[in-house]
Structure 1
Amino acid sequence: MSRISHHQLRTDLRTLLSGTCCYHTASVFDPMSARIASDLGFEVGILGGSVASLQVLAAPDFALISLSEFVEQATRIGRVAQLPVIADADHGYGNALNVMRCVVELERAGVAALTLEDTLLPAQFGRKSTDLIGVDEGVGKLRAALEARVDSELAIIARTHAGVLAVEQVIERTSAYQQAGADAICLVGVRDFDHLEQIAAHLRVPLMLVSYGNPALRDDARLASLGVRIVVDGHAAYFAAIKATYDCLRQQRQLACGNDLSASELAHKYTQPEDYFVWAREFMDVQE
C-alpha cells in the first residue's frame, strides 16, 4: 500500500472543510483503529483527549495526561494513518508558549488538525470545571498556535463550550477566534438547530460540532447548510473495545455471566473517578 504524506492528509482535510458536505469522525485511538477507519471509508478521524487519558492512564478526563504522553499516542497513529486525523489538544497543555510547543510536537506527529479549547484547564482551586479563560487569552493562544505551525495546511481549530455561555457571549468568543485566524470553530454543548443557527449566522469559517449523538441535531443536510463540516458523535469504538476486552477475559476465566456491565459502566468502574472527585474536593475545593 502506498503511503499518503502528512502534508497530503492535511490538504485532504482542508478540502473537506472548504466543501459543502458534513462528515462524521471515526474515533481512532491506536494504529489498528486508524487503519480500520480508513479501510471502512471514513473521511476523517479524531484522537480524543478523553480516550487518550483512558488508554494511557486508565484515568478519567481530568486533564491528567501530559503533552508528551498524548504526542506519543498521536505519533503511533500518524505512522500509519491513511486518513486525516484531528487531535483533541485540550487547552494546549498550558499557556500560549505551551501551546506553541504543543503545535510543534503534534505537527511532527502527523496530525492533520488540532483543536484548542478555551476551558480553564486543568481545574483551578475553587473554580467550576466548566469555567472558561478570557477571550483575550484565548485569542493569544490561537495566535501563538498559528505562529508555531510550519506546514500551513495544518488546521488550527478553536473550540469553545456553547452550552455554558449566553448565546451573545458565544458569538463574541467565536467571532474573536475567527478574526484571530482560526481555520475552523469547534462548538460543544449546542442544544438544537435554533441555538446553532444563532451562532453560525455570525461566522464565515467552517464549523466542527461535538454533538455526542444529540438527537436534536441529527440532520446532516441541515448541518451542512449551516456550515458544519465535521461532526464528532463520541468515542463508541473505544468503549466497545473496553467491553470486548472485559467480556473476553471474563470468559477466559470462566466467570459467571451475571452482573453484565455496559461499556460506560466498565469505564467508570476501572477509571475510579470517585477517588479523583474526593481528592479534588479535599485538596482543590473544586465546585461542581
Structure 2
Amino acid sequence: MAIGAWDALTARMAQQAGAEAVYMSGSCVSSSVHGGPDIGLTTMTEMTRRARQMAGVLDVPLIVDGDTGYGNELNAYRTVREYERAGANAIQLEDQTFPKRCGHFEGKDIISAPEFAAKIEAATDARESEDFLVIARTDALAVDGLDEAIRRAQLYKEAGADVLFVEAPTEREEMERVCREAPSPLLANLAAKGKTPPIPAEELTDIGYDMAIYPSDSFKAALKTIQDTYETLIDERSQENILDGMVEWEERDEITEMGDVEALEAKYAAAKDRYADREAEN
C-alpha cells in the first residue's frame, strides 16, 4: 500500500501513520499548485520540486507521478533523471497524449503503443540505479477497451517496465482478467470515489496485484474539512463550533517533530557556549 500525499507535511504524516511507501499524487499536487483540475497544467519543474521536498522528510520509498514524461522520449529521459536525483524511488509514466487528464476523467486520448514503449525504454536507460523502478501505466482501457490495454501492458513489459499499471478498470472482473493476462508485478489504483471499485488490500492480493496506490483519500478528506471549516467560520462569525475538529498545539508539534528541532537548538546553543568559554580562556 502506497499512501497518497501531496507535500512534505502530508508525506511525513503518512509515514508517521505507518505507510510502507508514499505515493506523490500528480492530481493532488497539480490542484495544490494551481488550484485547478488535473489536466496537465503543472510542469516537470514544479513536480520535481515537490518530490524533492517530500523525499527530504521520508525514510520509506517515494513513488512519484511523472505524467507522460512531459514530452517525447528525450523529455521522458530527463524527467526520470530529475526525479531520481530529487530522491524518488519509483516513477509512474503513462501513455496519454500531452497535455494529459486525470486517469478517472472522461475525454482521455492515448499515443501509439510503439511510441510509448520507446518512452519506457528511454526511462529505463535514464535511471542511475537499478533499484529505481519504472512503472508503465496505460489508459487504453477507457479509449480502446480491455483487450488493447492488456496488449499494451505486455508490450511495455518487453520495453523494460518494472511494474505495469492498467488504469481505471470499472469492475472486479476486469481487474481479475488484468492479473491473469498481464505480466506481474501489477499495480492497482484505488482512487477514492473514482471508477475502480474500492476493494480491500487483502482481496487485491488474492486477485493478483502486488502494489496499490491510494492517491487521493487524504486530499479529498482535507478538502471536505477545509470547506466545512471556512463555511462555518464565515457563516457563524465564530470559531466555537470548529475547535473540536482541530488538532491541539501539542499534537501539531508532534506531527511537525518540533521536539527534534528543539533538541538541535539545545545542542548548538551548548556548542556556542563551549566555544565562547574556549575563546575566553585564550
| TM category, shorter | 0.7 to 0.9
Pair 1:42 & 2:19 matched = yes
Deviation at 1:215, TM superposition (A): 7.2
Given residue 188 of structure 1, which amino acid in structure 2 is its aligned partner?
Answer: E
Other-structure match for 2:223: 242
Instruction: Say yes or no: does 1:195 pair with 2:166.
Output: no
Question: Is the CA contact 2:169–2:196 (under 8 Å) kept in the aligned structure 1?
Answer: no
Cα distance, 1:250 vs structure 2:
4.4
Tell me the number of residue pairs that the alignment of Structure 1 and Structure 2 aligns.
Answer: 231
| Structure 2 counterparts to residues 223-262 of structure 1, below 5 A | 223-253=204-234, 255=236
Residues 1-288 of structure 1 correspond to what in structure 2 (within 5 A)?
Answer: 23=1, 25-122=2-99, 129-161=107-139, 162-213=141-192, 216=197, 218-253=199-234, 255=236
Q: Which amino acid aligns with 2:125?
A: E
Cα distance between partner residues in 1 of 2:188 and 2:88: 19
Asked if 2 retains the 8 angstrom alpha-carbon contact of 1:191 and 1:216, the reply is yes
**1:39/1:132 Cα in 2 relative to 1: closer, same or farther (>3 Å)?**
same
TM-score, normalisation: structure 2: 0.75
Moved more, 86-95 or 165-174: 165-174
Q: Give percent identity, aligned residues only.
A: 29
Q: Give how far 1:227 is off.
A: 3.0
C-alpha spacing 1:215/1:172, structure 2 compared with 1 (3 Å): closer
Kept after mapping to 2: 8 A contact 1:35/1:82: no
Larger deviation: 146-155 or 77-86? Answer: 77-86
User: Which shifted more, 107-116 or 229-238?
Assistant: 229-238
Larger radius of gyration: 2
CA deviation vs aligned residue, 1:101-159 (integer Å, no higher than 9, x gap): 100110011111110000112169xxx83111000001000000001100110100000
Counterpart contact for 1:116–1:157, Cα < 8 Å: yes
Change (3 A) 1:115 1:255: same
Q: Report deviation, 1:168.
A: 1.9
Letter in 1 for 2:179: A
Which stretch shows the higher mean deviation, 196-205 or 111-120?
196-205
3-state SS, counterpart of residue 45 of structure 2: helix
SS at match of 1:228: coil
* Aligned residues of 1:193 and 1:217 also touching (Cα < 8 A): no
Cα offset, 1:239, TM superposition: 2.5
Q: CA deviation at 1:200?
A: 2.1
Conserved 8 A contact 1:45-1:86: yes
Q: TM-score, normalised by structure 1?
A: 0.73
- Aligned counterparts of 2:199 and 2:25: Cα–Cα separation in 1: 21
After superposition, the Cα gap between the structure-2 partners of 1:34 and 1:185, relative to the gap in structure 1 and judged at 3 Å, is same
User: Is contact 2:77-2:125 (8 Å) kept?
Assistant: yes
Tell me by how many angstroms 1:255 deviates. 4.1
